[in-house]
Amino acid sequence: MDENVKTIVRLHMEQAKKALEAHHIKTYLVKDKQEACALASSMIKDKEKVSDGGSMTISEIGLSQLLKSRDVAYISHNEPLSKEESEKEAHAAFNADTFICSSNAVTMDGALINVDGHGNRVAAMIYGPNQVIVIVGSNKLVKNEKQAKKRIQEVAAPANCVRLHRQTPCVKLGSCQDCESKDRICNFYVKIDHDMYDRIRVIIMEEEAGY
């Protein structure tokens, strides 16, 4: 990344951190995937029950692989699971000590914006686990909720539908068509803009990651 662009990215990261922490959401700024992985791991104690919501970001930074080597009870939604196993894992996440995930967008006015297909990820972000660690690349920083929705419709949702081999219009057209497909993944739209219970930790990387 060009140094001049990095300067602007860092300004956006600082702005997002300030806004999130004004909303009682503890936020950390790091340079790259390696630093993000190490920081997230340091927030998780040995013997903890850890779950995730399925995330390209978590895989890309190497956190999934690291947790598998640690003394924690880790169940990943990134692993190939049967429908029954997936449902069991999603319910178990509510009793986890730590839930790790990414966010479709983080606004510079201090909100986490997400769209879910089944709702298991956003549900666990809102309630259940004692700690929620949200890891995002700088590519997910947007100005406000309107831009977050645009990003979801034009980048995150279509890319995830391709990844998951869904038969939705966005796979062919490249952007959300607000479809009625049975493969639709845009079913639950959730905005988190305050954390009054000191559960949520957001790690923002200067590097880009995920969709």
CATH of the domain at 139: 3.40.50.10420
The predicted structure's pLDDT at residue 77: 79
Tell whether 210 is covered by a domain: no
What is the tally of helices (H) and strands (E) in the chain? 9, 10
Residues in the chain where the model's pLDDT stays below 70: 79-81
The answer to whether residue 112 sits within a structural domain is: yes
Whole-angstrom CA distances from 142 to 83, 101, 127, 172, 183 are: 34, 18, 25, 25, 27
Beta-carbon contacts of 166 under 8 Å, excluding residues fewer than 6 positions away, are 181, 183, 184, 185
72 located within any domain: yes
Q: Is residue 211 part of a domain?
A: no
Residue 144 resides in a domain: yes
Q: How many domains does the chain have?
A: 1
Q: Which domain holds residue 190?
A: 3-205
pLDDT for res 94: 92
Domain presence at residue 147: yes
pLDDT tens per residue, range 32-48: 999 999 999 999 999 99
Instruction: Flag whether 138 is in a domain.
Output: yes
Which residue is listed with tokens 């590519």?
A: 139
